[in-house]
Structure formats: structure tokens, C-alpha cells
Structure 1
Amino acid sequence: MDISDDYRRGRHVVSVLHVHVVFVTKYRRGVFDEAMLDACERTMRDVCADFGARLVAFNGEDDHAHLLVEHPPKVAVSALVNSLKGVPGWMPRAEFTGRVNHASMRGRFRSLSYFAGSTGGARIALSREYIEGQRRPAPMR
């Protein structure tokens, strides 16, 4: 597929599909710092690439993370979100053991729930602006 002019073009399809996804920590505990969000963003970019999707915007605060993902029509949003939830969920535990273990409840770092909303047209710019405007926490010392 070719991605140009914000449209994804394939042999039999032209599409532009975006989803705004929000993940929260268990009990909305303030766990994330800048380093953790940076690590999550890198991992989530890789997961998106595996699906042929593109992470357009990523940001978060100490208790949640926002993603704006452009994805091909053959990818079910639920499959993409489940992979995004699953893979990065293990990453912070390995790199940030002390911080994650302190905040985890019954072995869970993140809430099992998520928000996913489709966006299109002018809403994409608004979603991107909203995500980029999140108050990212400062690095931990």
C-alpha cells in the first residue's frame, strides 16, 4: 500500500482510517514518567508497524496514555488495540521494575479497559492537538 496525501491507496481500496485510543493505569495511579512514556511510544510504534499501521501522535500524563493511530481497512481495531495493550504492558515491568511494582495491584500495571474512538476529517487535527497538549510528567530523579 502507498501512503500519500493522507490517503492509503491499495490495489482495490483508498482509505483514511484513524482511531484515538486511551489506556489508563490500574486505579488511575500516577505511574508514568517521561522515560516510561518514551519507552512505551517506541514499543507502540513497532507494534503499529507490524500491523501496517502508523502511530500519528502519542502522549500521556502520569496515569494514562493517548494514541492516534492511522490503520489499514483490513486491520480490526480490536485486534490492533489488544496488541497495543499486550506487548507494551510487559515492557515497563522489565525496564522500570521498582516503579511498576510499587504501583501494580494484584500483578496488573494497567487497567484492562481502554477507550477507542474513530476520528475523521477536522477531528483528526483536533485529536492530534489534544494528544500533543497532554501534560507530560517530568523525568524521575
Structure 2
Amino acid sequence: MPQSLVKNYVHIIFSTKHREDFIDESIEKELFAYIAILCKDFESTALQIGGTDNHIHILCLLSRKIALMKLVQEIKAHSSKWIKTKGRKYEDFFWQEGYGAFSVSEKNIFPTINYIKNQRKQHQQQSFKDELLEILEKHRIKYDEKYLWD
């Protein structure tokens, strides 16, 4: 085949270091907009970005030109530097080292967008820990819980 044809929707999740509450509602829209620009810069269009005080979700169409690991690394590095410029409150901001990434089928794009849009509401009823464990189970990902939270 003379050309590469790729369409991979990916739901990416990662948290702040030690799940510290840094992403308050006063900064989240600007942060999410900045991350959307980063995704676009790496030709991985963000369809929805959302989260709560201690973690974010990104649904994007992953470019055929970048590895998922590289995209997450770039998003974390650039957004971490950016948020630290937003005031003394954010000087000690860091993302956790790891991340979760899950493929999303075409038919599940809109439910995933809605899920990400409603993160603040979702987390009035469910902790991030319980949410992540539920997602890992749903995708049948084997894990050792002691390595999820350190």
C-alpha cells in the first residue's frame, strides 16, 4: 500500500504527582485549552479534555506520525512548564510519571466525550482511585495495585 491510513481514538488519563489537588476550576479551562493546542501541534486532534483537581482525561485522534508514549511525554512536559508560570500556587506542580491509555471505538466516541465532559460531577460520587480501577477492569488490564498509587 503506497500510503498509511490510520484512525486511532485514544482515551488518555494521568494524574498530578501524588494526586495533589492543583487543577482547580480557576485554571482548568485554560489548561485544557493549552493541552488541546499541544495535541494539535503533534497532529493528534483533541476531541475532549476534562478532569478534576487531581487528574485529567484526554480523548484524541492519535496521529500516525507520533508514538502514544511520545505524545503523552510532550503534553506532560509542556503543560507542566506552562502551569508553573501561572502563579506561586502552581510552582510545585508536577504530573505523575505514568499514564493510562485506552482505545476507543468509533461507536463509543460520543459516550466517551460525555464521560470526560462530566468529570467534576462524576467525582462527586466516585474517587479517582475507584474510577481508574473500574476502567482498568473494563479494559481487562492486569495491574498490581501497589504500583498504581506510588
For Structure 1 versus Structure 2, the TM-score category normalised by the shorter chain is 0.7 to 0.9
Alignment deviations for residues 76-110 of structure 1 (CA, whole Å, 9 cap, x no partner): 11111111111001111111322x24xx4xxx522
1 or 2, which has the higher strand percentage?
1
CA distance in 2, matches of 1:35, 1:15: 37
Which of the residues 76, 86, 91 maps onto 1:85?
Answer: 76
Matched, 1:132 2:143: no
Uncovered stretches (5+) of structure 2, i.e. residues with no partner: 124-150
Instruction: Check the 8 A contact 1:20/1:116 in 2, yes or no.
Output: yes
Q: What letter corresponds to residue 85 of structure 1 in structure 2? A: K
| Structure 1 residue 18, shift from structure 2 partner | 0.9
Q: Once structures 1 and 2 are overlaid, which stretch shifts more, 81-90 or 128-137?
A: 128-137
User: Which residue matches 1:7?
Assistant: none
TM normalised by structure 2 equals 0.71
TM normalised by structure 1 equals 0.75
Matched, 1:45 2:30: no
| Structure 1 residue 42, shift from structure 2 partner | 2.0
- Greater relative CO, 1 or 2 (CA 8 Å, sep 6+): 1
Instruction: Check the 8 A contact 1:36/1:96 in 2, yes or no.
Output: no
| Number of residue pairs the alignment of both structures matches | 121
Alignment deviations for residues 45-90 of structure 1 (CA, whole Å, 9 cap, x no partner): 2211211121100111111111101122222111111111110011
**Two-structure CA RMSD over aligned residues (Å):** 2.1
Instruction: Check the 8 A contact 2:8/2:61 in 1, yes or no.
Output: yes
Q: What letter corresponds to residue 94 of structure 1 in structure 2? A: T
Instruction: Check the 8 A contact 2:15/2:95 in 1, yes or no.
Output: yes
Instruction: Check the 8 A contact 2:16/2:94 in 1, yes or no.
Output: yes
Q: What letter corresponds to residue 42 of structure 2 in structure 1? A: F
Q: Once structures 1 and 2 are overlaid, which stretch shifts more, 58-67 or 30-39?
A: 30-39
Alignment deviations for residues 17-40 of structure 1 (CA, whole Å, 9 cap, x no partner): 111111201111222112321222
User: Which residue matches 1:5?
Assistant: none
Uncovered stretches (5+) of structure 1, i.e. residues with no partner: 1-10
Moved over 4 A (4+): none
1 or 2, which has the higher helix percentage?
2
Name the % identity.
25
CA distance in 1, matches of 2:102, 2:7: 14
SS of structure 2 residue aligned to 1:112: coil
